[in-house]
Amino acid sequence: MESQSLQSIFADDGPLAKHIEGFKVRAPQLTLSESIETAIKEQQALIAEAGTGTGKTFAYLVPALLSGKKVIISTGTKTLQDQLFKRDLPIIRDALGLPIKVSLLKGRSNYLCLHRLSGEGIEHYQLDKATLNDLQEVRRKAGRTQHGDIAELTSIPEDAKVWPIVTSTNDNCLGADCPAYNDCYLVKARRQAMDADVVVVNHHLFFADMSLKEDKFGELLPKAEVIILDEAHQLGDVASKFLGQTLTSRRITELLNDTEVEAITSADGDKQLLQAIDRLRTALAELRLQMGEMSQRAPWDRLKGKSAWLEAKEHFESEWLFLVGILEKLASRAKGLENCWERATELLQTFKQLTANTPEQQIHWYETFSKSFSLNFTPLSVAEPFNDYRAEQEAAWIFTSATLAVGDDFSHFSDNLGIDDAKTVKLDSPFDFARQGIFYVPRDLPDPNNPAYNDAVLAAALPVLRLTGGRAFFLFTSFKALHHAAEVLASERSFELFIQGDQPKSQLLAAFRQSKRGVLLGTSSFWEGVDVRGEALSCVIIDKLPFATPDDPILKARASALRQQGKIPFLHYHLPNSIIALKQGAGRLIRDVEDRGILMICDPRLVAKDYGRSFIQSLPPMTRTRDFAKVRQFFERQHEIISD
């Protein structure tokens, strides 16, 4: 099979066509596959944008599997990871007839922890009735899972409270000292990955490995000769998270909860230890209170000089040191107590680092929620560390996504990651967008800063939603606008509302597909990685251009750095990011050659501002109109065609 050319493999009478029902050769797919084949053979870096419908997954899988090299494929979400491993890879492997070993590897929080699941201490956590029921369900079915992957327990929601209880974290994992180490699902998965020809991971795990955050088992990923990063437009954000440093109050709370269980089960209910835990909990709550009542993301300078915060911080550290001292005395009693002592010591050191002076080239900021907070260092740029990491790997690097370029320019993506040696290829979608879709920008909407804007958007959107009978994604740039829309649209009877947050994402999408008259209200998590084909989705409405919040501490710091370089932040950072985000949102509409639909973007800046042209030029080449009558004609004509 290796001697066959890609042209013969992708041909109408080739092995893919013989093994895959409905497979048809697509010129962009073959071009992409040939570019990837060359990059692999010559050990190059390739940045490839492939429009929706190109078939980029098969385009990179075929040359990767034929190469005979060790391959790591990283993608944006666990859902796409599962799809690659369970569906796409087996199809290509079988079609090519190659005896290739494939492994799926996720982060530790995706695997059941046998030690925590069987331990007596689990009974001492304060669990509500629903969580207790879920715990019983996990215990009943744990032994029947194939890999210990929590995704195999489909009867329990993905956001259930039970998961942190029955999985481990890098903090509480006992590593090789764990009594269940030899049977550990995570250990087995990592061993299989080391032995596999192709390993499928996600970006979070890829950068966790790069940053060496999880080192209790040594390296997470094997050394590879081919590294394929799908959904590569997400890399900058994920890299920023993992190449920085974060401490959440949740990690501290989890430490206190685990320590309390150990106090009861391993220290005979030691009163001094239990009192120290309660005192630190109280100090933690006071610390959060002194960070302000509102939920916010703010630069560290806003907090560090406040006297009430500094007093709360000093008291908090004092109580923490007291707890560490008690744990040190008790650590020899049990491995669990020793682990809690080590965690408490390490987390205290991290807390001190994140509340001290700001290191060079780091953005120092904090975030608060209703009852919790996080302290953060984020790299001003990930370009240097990522470029250094790439230089250490003797591998071909493939970066691909449907949204990497702004127009025909890849520099925004490549500069952010420090990639200066890559070849680029941009392949348009094979879909006939002019026939399949209409792009509607309504007239007479006020400026988005106008207080009446949200109501004006809903007034313009309602005729479209009534025309389509629902079957729409209504995408928002803020939760505030989403919740306002949910209130206004609640009384509508011509469609059924599905609101982000009411159900887990997968359940919400399943109910939306089944409804056939649904309107799904979503924010950023529904702008990408969501695939609804056919008549269930006939319309995508976007409330405004997705510019990031201007006072976000990370954006402000990076904008300031660009100004120091003599660059204009809006043109070099904010605008490219927004264009790529809009391309992702608009890309939810046409997912198949048979799809038809309406793309409605309400923001008048598309036509009123000079930069609007850059957005429009990056969108699929649909028929454009500002006239609702033409939208109606298009939809009714398409409906007649489908009905016939």
pLDDT tens-digit readout, 7-22: 999 999 999 999 998 8
- Whether 56 maps to a domain, the answer reads yes
Residue 331: domain span = 245-379
Nearest partner of 241 among 351, 349, 401, 382, judged by Cα? 382
Q: Is residue 549 located within the same domain as residue 464?
A: yes
- DSSP secondary structure string, 102-132? EEE---GGGBB-HHHHH-GGGGGS---HHHH
> Could you give phi then psi for residue 126, rounded to 5 degrees?
-85, 100
Contact present, 410 and 50 (Cβ < 8 Å): no
- Whether 167 maps to a domain, the answer reads no
Question: What is the edge-to-edge ordering of all strands in the sheet holding 373-379?
Answer: 245-248, 373-379, 362-368, 296-299
Token output for 383? 């370009």
* Range from 143-147, 240-244, 376-380, 466-470 carrying the lowest mean pLDDT: 143-147
Per-residue pLDDT, averaged over 508-525, amounts to 93
pLDDT for 503 equals 82
User: Residue 396 sits in a domain of what CATH number?
Assistant: 3.40.50.300
Q: How far apart are CA 220 and CA 559, in angstroms?
A: 34
Q: Is residue 302 located within the same domain as residue 406?
A: no
pLDDT tens-digit readout, 606-619: 999 999 999 999 99
Q: How far apart are CA 331 and CA 315, in angstroms?
A: 24
Q: Is residue 441 located within the same domain as residue 460?
A: yes
Cα 582 to Cα 277, 357, 526, distances in angstroms: 47, 37, 12
Contact present, 367 and 373 (Cβ < 8 Å): yes
Q: Is residue 80 located within the same domain as residue 214?
A: yes
For the whole prediction, is pTM greater than 0.95? no
- Whether 495 maps to a domain, the answer reads yes
- pLDDT band for 302, please (50, 70, 90 cuts): very high
User: Residue 345 sits in a domain of what CATH number?
Assistant: 1.20.120
Count of domains for the chain: 3
The three-class DSSP label of residue 50 is strand
Q: Is residue 237 located within the same domain as residue 253?
A: no
- Per 3-state DSSP, what percentage of the chain is helix, strand, and coil (rounded to 5)? 50, 15, 35
- Whether 86 maps to a domain, the answer reads yes
Token output for 551? 């006072």
**DSSP-derived pairing of the beta strands 539-542 and 597-601:** parallel
- Whether 501 maps to a domain, the answer reads yes
pLDDT for 501 equals 85
pLDDT tens-digit readout, 65-87: 999 999 999 999 888 899 999 99
Q: What percent of the chain has pLDDT over 90?
A: 76
Cα 13 to Cα 22, 24, 386, distances in angstroms: 12, 10, 42
Q: How far apart are CA 599 and CA 126, in angstroms?
A: 48
Give the DSSP H or E segment for 540: strand 539-542
- Whether 188 maps to a domain, the answer reads no
Q: Is residue 535 located within the same domain as residue 605?
A: yes
Out of 339, 356, 379, pick the residue that ends a domain.
379
pLDDT tens-digit readout, 524-560: 889 988 889 888 899 999 999 999 888 899 999 999 9
Out of 363, 396, 427, pick the residue that ends a domain.
427
Tokens 């007596």 belong to which residue? 120
